[in-house]
Structure 1
Amino acid sequence: MTTVSLPKKDKYVVGYSQSNNAEPYRAQLNTQLTYYIKQQPNLELLPIADAAQDSSRQVSQVQQFIQQKVDILIVSPNEADPLTPPVEQACKAGIPVIILDRSVNTDCIAAFIGGDNVAIGKAAGELAVKLLPNGGNVAELRGILSNQPQIDRDKGFRDAIAANPKIQIVKEQEAKWLKEEGTKVMQQWLQAGTKIDLVYAHNDPMALGAYLAAAGQNKQKDIQFIGIDGLAIPDGGIRAVQQGQLAGTFVYPTGAKEAVDTIVKMVNGQQFSSKQVLPTTPVTKDNADQVYKQFDFSNK
């Protein structure tokens, strides 16, 4: 447990640097963060800065928040290495930094809040082993290769499928966390005649993009699809499990509520945890209806 020292004020200004608003998971994170901050009359959220997957842009945006002298800074890094120096600059300027979802290479932060991506990748691998008891060919759609969640989700998955040596990863490619990239890559694999029994995608949009490509060639019933994010939104992963497009997904909590709870503790001089690892929830057709209701944010 730790505390930070903030001066007493009527209003605390929060800056948030988001790695890419275009990803549905991150759009939902933005919605939730905005909602929870509005519940706190002494907090003000500046317009969310969208790096649009451009680390140099995100560095500039973080530096701008430092120049604006925000009271608290939240960063979801696009990549760890480029974002480490500006986060350290904020820390040295006396601005407490909450790192949300993706890590940076410094301990000079107030808190890290995010899921355990190795554990989520392992859970996805264990599901693949269940779905392919006799073995089979897996194609892996990876996020941006320099992103730590991508590295961790790959590692956990490979560790788990090692339990069945007959499961082989026959194709793997970066699809940048984007649905359209998932579609494009999957089309190329299918056109090349690659035999694929299961697609493991590092997020639901890429998994659904791959499903669309398979459906375009009438092969969607021959292939199973696993994603990660499990958003309870109309075009999200839980709905796709309900509709039979995905065999499974895993809820990756946004951390928005936990971030605001942590900020409230900061401004009140209370102790908070400097490392908050959020649990995941596996989603299959057996529990998809229940999990959707649990995580549905639309009536907030």
Structure 2
Amino acid sequence: MKRMLLVVLMVGLLALTGLAAKTIGFSVSTLANPFFVTMKEGGEAKASELGLKLIVLDAQDKPETQFAQIQDLITRRVDVLIINPVDSDAIVSAVLEANAAGIPVITVTRPSNGGVVAQHLDIDNKEAGMLAAVAMAEALDGKGRVAILEGIPGAPSSVDRQAGFMDEMKKYPGIEVVASLTANYSREEGARVADDILQGNPVLDGIYAHNDEMALGAVRSAIAAGRLNEIKIVGIDATDDAIAAIKAGEMIATVQQQPYLQMEMAVIAAQRIINGASVEPKVIIPLKLITIDVLE
């Protein structure tokens, strides 16, 4: 009886002194994309290591679903919110609600265009586009016809990956961008849009996609058209499928942005906030160009 009473008293004391496990809510745009699955896994591993509870909710690329899920996390009084926005504008109302509830917010990969955010973790998306352009230009020896598969219209990552690529391409007047169409970061849409591009361009030397999912869709389309050998395909993310495609000779390059590390760092920042420490307002994750030479 005394032993049971002691256990009860200890549990109560932990709760009263705030030593019970703290909770982080992670609202992710979609788990249909392997990039964000890797991000989730990194967060779960780091949270477990630090003795934190991580609740992960998948918005399935729907802003209204993400808003409702974040409202649920606010109601559950999570200690910190980590948000990977579906849309940088649409997420603002949810961030403002978290601010009003006194729950600190961290954003990853896509920023919020309003509200108070304690820390944003991202890559330099312009640099990612530039690295992709360098890989494409080298593979084409500075001349050829290239098409682009763009991400979500208006998303900061899409805008910057396009700008970085196009700025670097100014150095290569022998390369012409003949088409640039949206495929919403989706493999299925990437394949469908690439089908249209291939049909409209009997001569095409390269396809740059703003992410690997669209690049892999382009690979599928090029294989179906019997044109993979003539088209150099470059993506961004360095997902497992993209790495396998490079090894198989189906893609020539991808840009690694380390989603596992990014989410680990976000969880560490959340712990610092919980402990009352300050965090840097913006953290840039280093990039690396991945080609067959790097993998061999």
> 1:1-300 maps to which residues of 2 (within 5 A)?
8-41=18-51, 43-46=52-55, 48-106=56-114, 108-231=116-239, 233=240, 236-254=241-259, 255-289=262-296
Contact kept, 8 Å, 2:238 with 2:257, in 1: the verdict is: yes
Structure 2 unaligned blocks of 5 or more:
1-16
Aligned residue for 2:14?
A: none
CA distance in 2, matches of 1:161, 1:101: 25
SS in 1 for 2:30: coil
Q: Report the CA distance shift for 1:124/1:187 in structure 2 as closer, same or farther (over 3 A).
A: same
- For residue 8 of structure 2, what is the aligned residue in structure 1? none
Q: Are the aligned partners of 1:79 and 1:148 in contact in 2 as well (CA < 8 Å)?
A: no
Number of equivalenced pairs: 278
Q: C-alpha deviations, 1:99-140, integer Å up to 9, x for none?
A: 011011136111101111111111111222222234211110
| 3-state secondary structure, aligned to 1:189 | helix
Q: Matched residues in 2 for 1:238 and 1:171: separation?
A: 25
SS of equivalent to 1:82:
coil
What residue ranges of structure 1 are gaps of 5+ in the alignment? 1-6, 290-300
Conserved? CA contact 1:250–1:280, under 8 Å: yes
Q: Which moves more between the two structures, 215-224 or 257-266?
A: 257-266
Q: Distance in 2 between matches of 1:247 and 1:202?
A: 14
**Bigger Rg, which one:** 2
The DSSP-based 3-state class of the residue aligned with 1:16 is strand
Q: Which residue of 1 aligns with 2:12?
A: none
* Aligned mates of 1:102, 1:185 — CA distance in 2: 24
2: CA distance between counterparts of 1:104 and 1:171?
Answer: 30
User: Deviation at 1:15?
Assistant: 0.8
Q: Distance in 1 between matches of 2:30 and 2:79?
A: 23
Judged with a 3 Å threshold, the aligned counterparts in structure 2 of structure 1 residues 146 and 9 are, in CA distance, closer, same or farther, namely farther
Give the whole-Å Cα distance in 2 for the aligned partners of 1:224 and 1:249. 12
Contact residue 79 and residue 274 of structure 2 kept, 8 A? no
User: CA separation in 2, counterparts of 1:281 and 1:134?
Assistant: 21
CA distance in structure 2 between the partners assigned to 1:134 and 1:247 by the alignment: 15
Distance in 1 between residues matched to 2:281 and 2:142, nearest whole Å: 44
Q: Which stretch of structure 1 is more off in the superposition, 191-200 or 251-260?
A: 191-200
Distance in structure 2 (CA, Å) of the matches to 1:107 and 1:117? 22
Separation in structure 2 between the aligned mates of residue 118 and residue 92 of structure 1, nearest angstrom: 33
Partner SS for 1:272: coil
Q: Which residue of structure 1 lines up, in the alignment, with residue 13 of structure 2?
A: none
More helix by share: 2
Inter-partner Cα distance in structure 2 for 1:120 and 1:191? 28
Paired AA for residue 45 in structure 1: L
- Secondary structure at the residue paired with 1:173? strand
Judged with a 3 Å threshold, the aligned counterparts in structure 2 of structure 1 residues 191 and 253 are, in CA distance, closer, same or farther, namely same
Give me the whole-angstrom Cα distance separating, in 2, the residues matched to 1:84 and 1:194.
44
Q: CA deviation at 1:82?
A: 0.8
The CA distance in 1 between the partners of 2:257 and 2:142, in whole Å, is: 29
Question: CA offset at residue 56 of structure 1?
Answer: 1.6
